[in-house]
């Protein structure tokens, strides 16, 4: 049996294999395309200290009050589109977007990029990774 006959007889199986391969490769492809610039906690500290990165915390108010990175600006993810103008004067600085685990930060980064921010990063693993690295959080 040749390859073409196998594919015709097992179209569903081949489709599932192709789809699973794409899903497995998607995170790597997204990083290569530049849609997600993730930094570790150590790299985040270097961005803050060496390049004066602005930290934007997109968690909910109760989460932010429990502890946040010092000098971070609080703009909940749900309000990012309406409040992005507050950050306009910071377009030339690196922006580090953080949330609890990193998922909300990615969508906030997309909003910032659409608004013309070029250097936008997410904290890989979010505030949870920051704490795991034994880095301090400030409470209000």
- Reported as half-sphere exposure (CB side, CA atoms, 13 A), residue 80 has a value of 23
Task: Report the alpha-carbon distance of residue 49 to residue 3 in Å, rounded.
Answer: 57
- Kindly write down the DSSP assignment for every residue of 85-99, as one continuous string: GGGGGGTTS-EEEE-
Q: Are 105 and 123 in contact (CB under 8 A)?
A: yes
Greatest CA separation found in the chain? 70
Q: Mind telling me the catalytic residues?
A: 99
Q: Are 14 and 7 in contact (CB under 8 A)?
A: yes
């Amino acid at each position: 049996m040749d390859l073409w006959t196998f594919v015709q007889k097992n179209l569903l199986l081949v489709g599932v294999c192709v789809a699973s391969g794409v899903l497995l490769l998607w995170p790597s492809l997204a990083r290569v395309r530049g849609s997600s610039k993730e930094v570790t906690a150590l790299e985040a500290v270097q961005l803050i200290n060496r390049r004066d990165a602005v930290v934007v915390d997109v968690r909910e108010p109760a989460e932010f009050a429990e502890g946040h990175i010092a000098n971070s600006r609080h703009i909940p993810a749900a309000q990012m589109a309406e409040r992005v103008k507050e950050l306009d004067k910071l377009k030339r600085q690196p922006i580090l977007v953080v949330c609890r685990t990193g998922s909300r930060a990615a969508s906030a980064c997309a909003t910032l990029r659409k608004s013309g921010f070029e250097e936008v990063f997410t904290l890989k693993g979010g505030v949870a990774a920051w704490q795991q690295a034994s880095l301090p959080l400030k409470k209000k």
